[in-house]
Amino acid sequence: MLKNLPKAIEVLDQSFLSKELKEKYKEVLEKKYRQLKLIV
């Protein structure tokens, strides 16, 4: 699952979402990965 984070961020960066939504979505992803103790 740890390998998926960079891919998820790459896909997110290429998405149609606004810059603000992309940043918020990245924050949510990182928070979830921290909760799962996959990143520090």
Average pLDDT of 11-34?
93
Q: Is pTM, for the whole model, over 0.85?
A: no
Q: Is the pLDDT of residue 19 over 90?
A: yes
Contact 31, 17 (CB under 8 A): no
CA distance 19 to 31: 18
Is 34 or 20 the better-scoring residue by pLDDT?
20
Terminal C-alpha separation, the chain: 14
Beta-strand ranges (E) seen in 1-40 are: none
Determine contact, residues 36/29, Cβ cutoff 8 Å. Answer: no
Q: Mean pLDDT over residues 24-35, rounded?
A: 91
Q: pLDDT: is 6 or 20 the higher one?
A: 20
pLDDT of 10 over the 70 cut = yes
Q: Is the dihedral of CA 33, 5, 15, 23 positive or negative?
A: positive
